[in-house]
Amino acid sequence: MRNSNGMGAAAIGSLGLIAFVVVGLIAFGARTLNFYGLQRYQGPDLARSAIPTVDSLSGSFDPVADLELQDALVLIDTGHNNGFDEQEMDVFLGRLTSNGAQVEFVGGSDLIEGLRGASALVILAPSSDFDQEEIDAIEGFVDKGGRVVVVGEPTRQRSVDGINSLTRAFDIVYRDAYIYSLTNNDSNFRHVIYENFGGNSVITDGLEQVVFQTAYPLAVESEMAIIEGDDSTFISTSELPGGVVAAALAGNGNFLALPDLTFLTSPYNGFADNDQLIDNIVTFALSGERVYDLADFPFFYEGRANLVYQDVVTLNNALADTIDLRNSLSSAGVDVDLVESYSSQQNVLYLATYAQSVDSEAVAQLAADGIQLSTEEIDADEEDESTSNGGSSFGDDDEEEFSPNSIIIRGVAQLQSQGTVIIHLVTPQSGQVEDEAEADAGDEEETSDEEAEEVEVFEDPHQVLILADDEEVLAEGIDILLSGDFSECLTTDFTAVCQVISSDLAGDDDVEEAPEPTPGIGADIGSVLVVADDIVSGDSETINAEGVQSVLDNELGGEALLWFTSSDGLPTVDDLFAFDAVIWSNGTYCCDGITEDHQTVMSEYLDGGGKLVLSGTAIAFETRETDFQSNYLRVEYLDFGELLSIIPQGHPVSENFDDEVFFAGEVGSPDRVLPVGSTDIVFTAGDDSPAPGEAVVTAYADGSQQVVFSTFPIGALDEFDLTTLLDSILTWFSAP
Amino acid sequence: MAEDAQSTEAVDADPIEASLARARTVWGIIAVIILGAIGGGVGLWASQQVAPQPVIGIVRLYGTIDFFSYADYLGPLHIAAERDDVAAVVILVDSGGGLATVSEELFYTVLDLREDKPVVASIEGVSASGAYYATAPANWMVARPAAIVGSIGVRSGFPPESFPDDETLTTGPFKDVGRSTTDFLRDIDSIALAFSTNIYDQRSWVLENMHEESRLDLLPPVEEVATGQVWTAARAFELGLVDEIGSNLDAIERAAELAGVRNYEVIDLFAEFIELDDTDFAGFSTDRPEPTWYEEGPWPQFYYFYGTDEE
């Protein structure tokens, strides 16, 4: 009966529930497993990285130098597109000046000229090539004990060609790469720490660590290296570490090559021992044992010098040259006393004819240095032979009416005395060098050797002796001395014997034609005042004015006087009228020059019929909306900006230029102006400039006053263009 | 006779009962089947609720990483983090990096995401500097052989100089410019160290734990990784900077494998992001104003960028 009732409700319920659960679970599981595996993702339990700390590399420096005050001139090169600003070099320049150095910025031909009186030359990040003349001058400077510091800077120089054009002469090559270290650095892989110091040099005294911030590697002989990287240092263009040279000494220890400029600047000077290194570099620069020779005239004098003339007649006949001598000495900071007697204890510039100097101590000094005046006639065939036999000579006898026929330079040559001038520098070194030359010459001059050893050699005084057979030749000798060009003379380091043509010897037919007067200075414009409107000596105003004056004097053969407002003050109107024309030179910096006082002086000068050239960057900007600009410059300020070249506009001042003119020096950001009224445009901005065609040089004339206004310092033109421009301006000034 | 009668009654009653019993059985079975089906449906429903069809989310790290583009990267990553169906993330990379802070934000976001879901980076063209930094926490990196990888390092300009004047007054020497040059050099070095250390640690973990045999020995010293050098992916594989040479498909399959999912769907999370009406999803939206403040201040801007121009 029970079975026949079929499935009970309870059973159905139970089975249904089981089916519900089982099928549900199967469905759940099947679907889930269709998508997901049995293992679920477990993310890593990884602690976050701690941020590493960076240690600071602090330096230690004892700021004072054991240096005694030095009286040395240090030149800073600005003529090779040098990649530095004066302001950023304050640490280094300050260290130089605080140790007594006089710092001058020089560019162009001033570099070679400046080396004559300098103790050291600093060349910072040059980008353009040194020409052969400059290289020769620097090599000669180093040979004479001058110190040269060359500093490269990979982040500023476009290539190493410029710097290598000089350093190759000293067997140093800057490689076109930079040094880095991934491990031994100060916060950056390019800021490499150097701890390997070689050589026994003042440069590396007291150094344990220095840091160069991006440095050139140097290719040098190993013995020249003084600072090297460790085994972790690489050259950027090479895969091999180690052996990287960062600084080297050459030129018998007088030529220092450094790889980085940044460490000389703040704040990098304070890293590691960089300050000590800077001090060492200053010590190096100021401690050279500079030897002077004739070519360095007049810079070997210190303080005062006696200009000794043996006879009044001599002074009268060579008056112009004597004045030049005096001016040259003055420009070198040497005060001159005119005296009649020679003293071996003082600085001396001695002028005399052979006959006038018979009894002179100066001639005795000459003899002591191996130069004898002899009555012996010489055969032309024997002129170049070294001999001392025969005839009498100054130094041997005291013949009153002695008239020498020949000059004997011991161990070098015998020359005829007619038309000959002897220029001889007496220094402690001169005696030493001559003795060495004599040793080389052999034993045949034993008598003279003994004589030389008996003559006292002075420690401090420098004496230049100029002797000639007549006063005209003497004047020629002075010219040669002033020019420093002894290429036409027979020379040793301290002696030059030059044959010059005397009118007495040459006769009327052989008299040289007087040079044709140059159109400018040689014509109506006889004298020019060049005003360097400088704040401090050596700034861009000074450099530009000196460039202008140099061209006026040397290229145009004129008489130009430099006036430095930094030392001479503002010239008065009377000062300006003392000259036929005035060139007022402002520099490349803005807003420090043409004040109201300046404008007043120039206005009054022009009102009185003056002839003025005013040049410099930012003058129009400084004087905008002033009466001076509208009534005297007669232009209106437009704007300022980059100026790459200028284009002549056919004005008499620019008519000698055929084509676009480019600059050789810095011009900053010159103004552009709009001429007002009858003002003419002389030059416009070149095509590559931001505003081509706008006026950058103008000229105005009204029958009495004449003014040329240049919105850039004209000293930035190269020598040829500057000569052409000044020639044209002065011709225009002198035209009716 | 009486016994026969009783017997006949009994025979007459049994068929009915038997029929009823059969009916009850049939209905019982039907009921059980229905309950089973309902159970199956509930099971499927429950499975859908707790285990939705898995999704491999695609995030694109293309172009410069900066404040203009950061929402395009961070928005999809945040969606990936929020959505349960996203089982793994594949970041397609073709970028030379960009702003340091945005790259770092991406790095830490990926680092967080990896705790819950595997992340695979697939380098399509370039993964350099900040882009490599951003994807460094990935569980796996796939790249084409000629792809570019590396440039680990920092770029920055120097802070501007400040000169005293009489028109403004500050209460400290660094109030204007923020820091000295010396401190700036330390700062940038510190940032670079953080960059290289983070990358080195992440790659070390992957090479140690994600490969069948540890490849940790391949990784060069950290200072050699941090030279700023770039490598082709083929070379980067040898250096342990990527884990596999392959395609995007390989990356997706690897992501699914790491997540342990099958029959997944691949969706573009950037498309999901820009379809959102919500302008404030996870703090990002497509119409957010350009936040360029960082790039306009007097402070130095740090870049993790491969190349010579931040643009």
Q: Which residue has the higher pLDDT, B198 or A497?
A: B198
Measured distance CA(A544)–CA(A554) in Å, rounded? 15
Is residue A45 a part of any domain in this protein?
A: no
Query: Are A165 and A311 part of one and the same domain?
Result: no
List the structure tokens of B239. Answer: 């250096």
User: CB distance from A5 to chain B under 8 Å?
Assistant: yes
Same domain, yes or no: A672 and A727 = yes
Q: What is the per-residue pLDDT for A170?
A: 95
Distance from CA of A38 to the nearest CA of B (A): 8
Q: Pairing relation of β-strands B119-128 and B140-143?
A: parallel
Q: What is the DSSP letter of B239?
A: T
User: Do residues A634 and A662 both lie within one domain?
Assistant: yes
B57 in contact with chain A, both atoms CB, cutoff 8 A:
no
The answer to the question of residue B192 being in a domain is yes
| pLDDT value of residue A709 | 93
Residue B8 in any domain: the answer is: no
Q: What is the CATH number for A249?
A: 3.40.50
Mean pLDDT of chain A: 79
- The per-residue DSSP string of B62-81 comes to ES-BSTTTHHHHHHHHHHHH
Q: B176: domain range?
A: 52-163+172-305
Q: Collapsing DSSP states into helix, strand and coil, what is residue B56? A: strand
Tokens for A272, please give them.
Answer: 């590691």
> A280 and A176, same structural domain?
yes
Minimal Cα distance from B119: which residue of A?
Answer: A43
Is B42 part of any domain?
no
Restricting to B residues 222-261, those with a Cβ less than 8 Å away from any Cβ of A are: 223-224, 226-227, 258-261
Q: What percent of chain B has pLDDT over 90?
A: 52
Give the separation between CA A505 and CA A503, rounded to whole angstroms. 5
pLDDT band at B145 (very low <50, low <70, confident <90, very high): very high
- Concatenated DSSP letters of A153-219: -TTT-S-SHHHHHHHGGGT-EE-SS-EEESSSBSSSTTEEEE-EE-SS-GGGTT-S-EEEES---EE
Question: What element of type H or E holds B40?
Answer: helix B2-50
Maximum pairwise Cα distance, chain A: 181
Please give the Cα distance from A282 to A276 (Å, whole number).
Answer: 10
First CA to last CA across chain B, in angstroms?
118
pLDDT of residue A147: 95
Give the CATH number, domain containing residue A672: 3.40.50.880
Asked if A303 contacts A269 with a C-beta cutoff of 8 angstroms, the reply is no
pLDDT tens digits, one per residue of A444-463: 344 344 444 443 344 467 77
Q: What is the pLDDT of residue B310?
A: 43
Are A147 and A247 contained in the same domain? yes
A374, A376, A379, A383: CA torsion to nearest 10? -20
Q: Do B39 and A15 touch (CB under 8 A)?
A: no
Q: Is residue B311 part of a domain?
A: no
Partner-chain contact A41 B87, CB within 8 Å: yes
Kind and range of the H or E run holding B138: none
Nearest to A52 among B181, B197, B263 (CB): B197
Q: How many residues does chain A have?
A: 736
The verdict on A267 and A298 lying in the same domain is no
Whether chain B has a CB inside 8 Å of the CB on A22: the answer is yes
User: What does the pLDDT read at residue A398?
Assistant: 44
Q: Which of B44, B198, B211 is the mutation pick for testing A, counting most A CBs within 10 A?
A: B44
A129 & A188 share domain: yes
Q: What's the CATH number where B269 sits?
A: 3.90.226.10
Question: Both tokens of residue A159?
Answer: 């290539």
Q: List, as ranges, residues 147-186 from A with C-beta within 8 Å of B.
A: 182-183, 186
Residues of B in contact with A48 (CB under 8 A): 111
Residues of chain A contacting B201 with CB distance shorter than 8 Å: 46, 49
B185–A188: do the CB atoms touch at under 8 Å? Answer: yes
Specify the length of chain B in residues: 311
Report the alpha-carbon distance of residue B306 to residue B154 in Å, rounded: 9
Q: Which amino acid is at A541?
A: E
Q: Assess whether A487 and A610 both reside in one domain.
A: no
**Chain centroid offset of residue A43 CA:** 68
Interface contact A736, partner B, CB < 8 A? no
Residue B86 lies in a domain: yes
Give every residue of chain A whose pLDDT is below 50, as ranges: 1-3, 312-313, 380-400, 431-459, 502-523
Query: Which residues does chain B have within 8 Å of residue A31's beta carbon, measured at their own beta carbons?
Result: 43-44, 47-48, 51
CB contact under 8 A, B188 and A187: yes
Instruction: Determine the structural domain holding residue A723 and report its residue range.
Output: 527-734
Contacts A32 to B, Cβ<8 Å = 47, 50-51
When CB atoms are compared, the residue of A7, A44, A183 closest to B25 is: A7
Are B207 and A209 in contact, with CB atoms under 8 Å apart?
A: no
Tally of domains in chain B:
1
Q: Is residue B215 part of a domain?
A: yes
For residue B218, with 0-12 CB atoms within 10 Å meaning exposed, 13-18 middle and 19 or more buried, which class applies? middle
Q: Are residues A605 and A645 in the same domain?
A: yes
**Contact list, B84 vs chain A (CB under 8 Å):** none
Instruction: List the one residue out of B307, B301, B310, B275 whose CA is nearest residue B100.
Output: B301
Is residue B40 within 8 A of residue A27, CB to CB? The reply is yes
How many angstroms separate the CA atoms of B295 and B304, rounded? 14
* A428/chain B closest Cα distance in angstroms: 51
Sign of CA dihedral A187, B308, B236, B119: positive
CB A351 within 8 A of CB A474: yes
**Residue to substitute from A26, A31, A39, A180, interface B, most B β-carbons within 10 A:** A31
What is the CA angle A377-A383-A385, rounded to 5? 115
Of A242, A258, A286, the residue at which a domain comes to its end is A286
Total domain count for chain A?
3
A582 and A627 fall within a common domain: yes
Mean pLDDT of chain B: 86
Residues of B in contact with A53 (CB under 8 A): 190
Partners of residue A178 in chain B, C-beta under 8 Å? none
Q: Which residue from B38, B44, B201 is facing A20, i.e. has the nearest CB?
A: B38
Window 523-552 of A, Cβ < 8 Å to B: none
Q: Which one of B47, B114, B182 has the shortest CB-CB distance to A27?
A: B47
pLDDT at B289: 53
Q: Which two tokens stand for residue B210?
A: 């994600």
Residue A544 lies in a domain: yes
pLDDT tens digits for range B88-124: 999 999 999 999 999 999 999 999 999 999 999 999 9
In this prediction, residue A433 carries a pLDDT of 39
In a domain, A250, yes or no: yes
CB-CB neighbors (< 8 A) of B29 in chain A:
7
Determine whether the interchain pair B226/A187 forms a contact, defined as Cβ–Cβ distance below 8 Å.
no
Q: Does B174 touch chain A (CB under 8 A)?
A: no
For residue A66, the model assigns a pLDDT of 54
pLDDT at A1: 43
> Do A156 and A280 sit in the same domain of this protein?
yes
Contact residues, chain A, for B261 at CB < 8 Å: 35-37
A167 lies in some domain: yes
Q: Look at residue A511 and tell me if it is in a domain.
A: no
Q: Find the closest chain B residue to A19 by CA distance.
A: B36
Query: What residue of B is the nearest CA neighbor of A28?
Result: B43
Cα separation, A449 vs A468, in Å, equals 25
Same domain, residue pair A558 and A703: yes
Query: What local confidence, expressed as pLDDT, does residue A380 receive?
Result: 47
For the four alpha carbons of B166, B169, B172 and B173, in that order, the dihedral sign comes to negative
Tell the residue number behind the tokens 């009654």, with chain if given: B9
Query: How close, in Å, is residue B152 to chain A by CA atoms?
Result: 13
Q: Does residue A102 lie in a domain region?
A: yes
